[in-house]
């Protein structure tokens, strides 16, 4: 009887832990807009806030634009400048969406689950609906989320001669990874 109560208690505790919204402040978002002409436009940000709610399937990301780190100082300056991301006026990138098929992920069972997340991505004050394929790995109570996708810069009002001239990719590759303990 005692063992049964103990087991049920463990199951309830585990289930409630998985039901809680998980957050991290050290998710990584990288983007690569390099081309055959210019290898410089790429950067990463390792201090992105991310959240996932296993119960509702809600997924959120929030990044300080200025914390994207470039190897080249000139590129860093251009990226944050008024003509490009205008980070003084629009200091954050945000994403808020949901897992399209919540049943595609069993948060209580270890495994690697392919899934899709759909939601609104806000860049430079413009919001666009995006659907992103990703993977969620469940292991010993931890979650690892990863995704690779592209966005069209023109969708967010980002245009200019370097894009037309092929120095910056029109559709940079975005890589996202987040570990939730």
Partner 1 sequence: MSKVKRPWLKKLSIAILVLIGIGAGIYFYKVLERHPDTKNEKAVFTVNAIDFIREFEKDDKAANKKYAEKIITVNGIVSEMEAADTTVNIKFIDTASGSYAIFAFQERYVAEAKRVKIGDSVSIKGSCSGGVLSEILGTEFITFKRCTLNN
Residues 6 or more apart whose Cβ sits within 8 Å of residue 16? none
66 belongs to the binding site for partner 1 (CB under 8 A)? yes
What is the sign of the dihedral through the CA atoms of 168, 50, 131 and 127?
negative
Contacting residue, 18, 24, 98, 130, with partner 1 by CB under 8 A = 24
Quick check: 62 binds partner 1 (CB under 8 A)? Answer: yes
- Of 115, 95, 119, the C-alpha closest to 107 is 115
8 binds partner 1 (CB under 8 A): no
Question: Which of 18, 32, 64, 98 touches partner 1 (CB under 8 A)?
Answer: 64
For partner 1, the closer CB: 108 or 124: 124
Closest CA to 79 of 44, 115, 121: 44
Other CB atoms within a 10 A radius of the CB of residue 42 amount to: 19
- Kindly list the residues in this chain that would bind partner 1 in the complex (CB under 8 A): 23-28, 40, 45-47, 49-51, 60, 62, 64, 66-67, 69, 71-74, 76, 91-92, 94, 177, 179
């Amino acid at each position: 009887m005692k063992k049964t109560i103990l087991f049920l208690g463990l199951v309830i505790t585990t289930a409630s832990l998985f039901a809680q919204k998980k957050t991290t402040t050290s998710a990584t978002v990288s983007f690569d807009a390099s081309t055959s002409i210019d290898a410089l436009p790429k950067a990463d940000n390792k201090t992105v806030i991310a959240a996932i709610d296993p119960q509702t399937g809600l997924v959120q990301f929030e990044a300080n634009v200025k914390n994207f780190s470039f190897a080249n100082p000139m590129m860093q300056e251009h990226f944050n400048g008024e003509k490009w991301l205008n980070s003084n006026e629009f200091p954050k990138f945000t994403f808020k969406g949901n897992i399209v098929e919540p049943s595609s992920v069993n948060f209580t069972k270890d495994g690697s689950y392919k899934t899709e997340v759909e939601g609104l991505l806000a860049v430079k004050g413009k919001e666009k609906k995006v659907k992103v394929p990703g993977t969620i790995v469940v292991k010993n109570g931890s979650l690892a989320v990863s995704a690779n996708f592209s966005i069209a810069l023109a969708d967010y009002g980002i245009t200019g001669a370097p894009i037309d001239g092929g120095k910056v990719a029109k559709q940079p590759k975005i890589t996202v990874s987040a570990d939730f303990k």
